[in-house]
Amino acid sequence: MDLVNVMKALGDETRLRMLNLLNKKELCVCEIEELLDINQSNASRHLNKLSSAGLVEYRKSALYVYYKIKDEATAQFPFLVSFLHDETRKLTKCVLDEERLNQYIDSGITCDELKDGRLCFKDNKEEQ
User: CA-CA distance, 35 to 99, in Å (whole number)?
Assistant: 9
State which of residues 1, 7, 40, 85 lies at the interface with DNA (CB under 7 A).
Answer: 40
Interaction of residue 28 with DNA, rule CB under 7 A? yes
Q: Which is nearer to a second copy, 16 or 32 (CB)?
A: 16
Question: Minimum distance from CB of 8 to a second copy (Å)?
Answer: 4
State which of residues 17, 49, 70, 100 lies at the interface with DNA (CB under 7 A).
Answer: 49
State which of residues 17, 19, 33, 100 lies at the interface with DNA (CB under 7 A).
Answer: 33
Q: Between helices 40-52 and 3-10, what is the axis angle to 10°?
A: 160
Q: Which is nearer to DNA, 42 or 107 (CB)?
A: 42
Interaction of residue 72 with a second copy, rule CB under 8 A? no
User: CA-CA distance, 13 to 60, in Å (whole number)?
Assistant: 26
Question: Minimum distance from CB of 8 to DNA (Å)?
Answer: 5
121: left (phi over 0), alpha (psi -120 to 50) or beta: beta
User: CA-CA distance, 82 to 48, in Å (whole number)?
Assistant: 23
Three-class secondary structure of residue 11 per DSSP: coil
Question: Minimum distance from CB of 72 to DNA (Å)?
Answer: 19
Instruction: Report the alpha-carbon angle 37-43-46, nearest 5.
Output: 130
Q: Which is nearer to a second copy, 94 or 114 (CB)?
A: 94
